[in-house]
Amino acid sequence: MEFLISEYFKRNDLAVKGMPTVQFIADELHISSNYLSRLLRAITGQTTQQFLQDKLMDFAKEKLSTTDLSVSEIAYELGFKHSQSFNKVFKTKTSQTPLEFRQSFNSRL
């Protein structure tokens, strides 16, 4: 499943199609969405949406640490219509703004 999500993110489908749905992932894995949700909850303790959002933030961290794209450009690539929404979700998940993350990452190099 992680490979499927990673490939979806890398194809830059987020800007056009948005986050993959639970049904999309279940269909790709040839299982029911209910089974996927129960399985994921049992393994990770998270809902499918929480799991996807965490994976999205991991991808955002990768973009922030390996590209020179602006935060707004990254937000758009990740499917956010407004960079403020991306900033809010990122800060909620990581306790840092995207810029703070980028600066702290760059200061470690």
Burial of 34-64, coded b for 16+ CB within 10 Å and e otherwise, reads eebbeebeeeeeeebeebbbebbbebbbebb
Q: State the Cα–Cα distance between residues 37 and 39, nearest whole angstrom.
A: 6
pLDDT 10s digits, 69-108 = 999 999 999 999 899 999 999 999 999 999 999 998 777 6
* Span 48-75, pLDDT tens digits: 889 999 999 999 999 999 999 999 999 9
Give the CATH architecture of domain 2-108.
Orthogonal Bundle (1.10)
Structure tokens at 35: 């089974």
**Average pLDDT score over the chain:** 91
In whole angstroms, give the CA distance from residue 97 to residue 8.
24
- Give the global pTM: 0.86
